């Protein structure tokens, strides 16, 4: 079942790269009591994800925070090392937290997986964005295959 507005965000364990190496992200400490802009990309270092999706949230981070967003996070079904390298390469520090969903458990829990086998990518998370307020989803923006419109930072700004 696909997550919808009004649903609690499923508890999942993400990993993030820190100066001390990979560390788990505690769900409650990241989402509870905060308004979070969470977006998912099919893969780190892939064309649309690297050229448009992640850069848009980096560029609009201050505007999103001015409209009440406490944290911005990017998730993908990639390992923590790849997500850490992609974040460093893109300049996310202080703007976007990179949350690795290495086994795709979160993507499965929200019902937003895609089959990237045709491209040698296996099961991945779809391209989407969520606004999560105190652990509850208030907006769900899922892209049609091959599209990049409703999951963008600009689109989310219009929702706030």
- At residue 104, the pLDDT reads 94
Q: How far apart are CA 61 and CA 144, in angstroms?
A: 24
Average pLDDT, the chain: 93
Q: Convert the pLDDT of each residue in 84-127 to its tens digit.
A: 999 999 999 999 999 999 999 999 999 998 777 788 777 889 99
Residues 129-157, mean pLDDT to the nearest whole number: 96
Is the predicted pLDDT of residue 8 greater than 90, yes or no?
yes
**What's the pLDDT band for 129 if we cut at 50, 70, 90?**
very high
Measured in degrees and rounded to the nearest 5, phi and psi for residue 103 equal: -100, 0
Q: How far apart are CA 129 and CA 39, in angstroms?
A: 4
How many C-beta atoms surround the C-beta of residue 133 within 10 A? 17
- Residues serving a catalytic function are 49
Q: Convert the pLDDT of each residue in 52-87 to its tens digit.
A: 899 999 999 999 999 999 999 999 999 999 999 999
Is the predicted pLDDT of residue 141 greater than 90, yes or no?
yes
- At residue 124, the pLDDT reads 81
- At residue 43, the pLDDT reads 87
Q: How far apart are CA 99 and CA 39, in angstroms?
A: 10
Element housing 64 (H / E): helix 61-66
The residue with greater pLDDT, 28 or 90, is: 90
| CB-count burial class (<10 Å; 0-12, 13-18, 19+) for 66 | exposed
How many C-beta atoms surround the C-beta of residue 2 within 10 A? 11
- At residue 157, the pLDDT reads 97
- Whose tokens are 């790269």? That residue is 17
What are the chain's domains? Answer: 14-159 (3.40.30.10)
Residues 40-53, mean pLDDT to the nearest whole number: 87
Burial 76-108 (b: 16+ CB within 10 A, else e): bbbbbebbbbbbeebebeebbbbbbbbebebbb
- At residue 50, the pLDDT reads 82
Q: Are 55 and 72 in contact (CB under 8 A)?
A: no
Q: Any idea what the Cα angle at residue 1 is, between residues 138 and 97, rounded to 5°?
A: 50
Helices and strands in the chain, H and E counts? 7, 9
């Amino acid at each position: 079942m696909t997550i919808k507005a009004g649903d609690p965000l499923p508890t999942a364990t993400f990993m993030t790269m820190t100066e001390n190496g990979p560390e788990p992200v505690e769900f409650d400490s990241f989402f509870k009591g905060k308004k979070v802009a969470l977006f998912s990309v099919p893969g780190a270092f892939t064309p649309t994800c690297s050229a448009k999706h992640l850069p848009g949230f980096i560029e609009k981070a201050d505007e999103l925070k001015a409209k009440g967003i406490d944290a911005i996070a990017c998730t993908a079904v990639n390992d923590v090392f790849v997500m850490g390298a992609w974040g460093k390469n893109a300049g996310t520090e202080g703007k976007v937290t990179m949350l690795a969903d290495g086994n795709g458990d979160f993507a499965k829990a929200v019902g937003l997986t895609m089959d990237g086998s045709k491209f040698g990518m296996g099961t991945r998370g779809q391209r989407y964005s969520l606004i999560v307020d105190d652990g509850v989803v208030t907006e769900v923006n899922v892209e049609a295959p091959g599209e990049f419109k409703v999951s963008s930072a600009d689109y989310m700004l219009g929702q706030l």
